[in-house]
Amino acid sequence: QVQLMESGGGSVQAGGSLRLSCAYSGRTYDLVRMAWFRQGPGKEREGVASTHQWPPRTLYVDSVKGRFTISQDNTKNMLYLQMNSLKPEDTAMYYCAAADSTTQSRGWSNSSSYNYWGQGTGVTISS
């Protein structure tokens, strides 16, 4: 089992920045990919960014490219999402997700590709 806990959400004005953090623990040695998802009011959950062990790569949804950066520090068991130039449409609950080797990938932005989820942290961007 793997446990995930997000932090860092809050309320900022458009154009501002936030950094989300996700602490992971448990059987972390078997994790093969991690991601951030979000679900805005009245919207479906969408993949925002992901990071993969092999081959090493990071992937982003088009709407955040150039503004968000996903990073991982395995020495601290932390996943981050640096969010810059925030827009009101970035308002959402943000979730950390992880997949171990038992979980088949159906695409990085498909929530079924991840078998561990955090509780979420809220982000509100005002105009």
In order along its 127 residues, the chain shows pLDDT tens digits of: 999 999 999 999 999 999 999 999 999 999 999 999 999 999 999 999 999 999 999 999 999 999 999 999 999 999 999 999 999 999 999 999 999 999 999 999 999 999 999 999 999 999 9
Q: Are 9 and 94 in contact (CB under 8 A)?
A: yes
Query: Which tokens sit at 115?
Result: 């078998």
Distance CA 107, CA 26 (A): 24
Distance CA 65, CA 94 (A): 17
Q: Are 97 and 105 in contact (CB under 8 A)?
A: no
The answer to whether the peptide bond before residue 55 is cis (omega within 30 degrees of 0) is yes
Supply the pLDDT for residue 118: 98
68: three-class secondary structure by DSSP:
strand
Strands 78-83 and 18-26: antiparallel
Distance CA 28, CA 14 (A): 35
Helices (H), 6-120: none
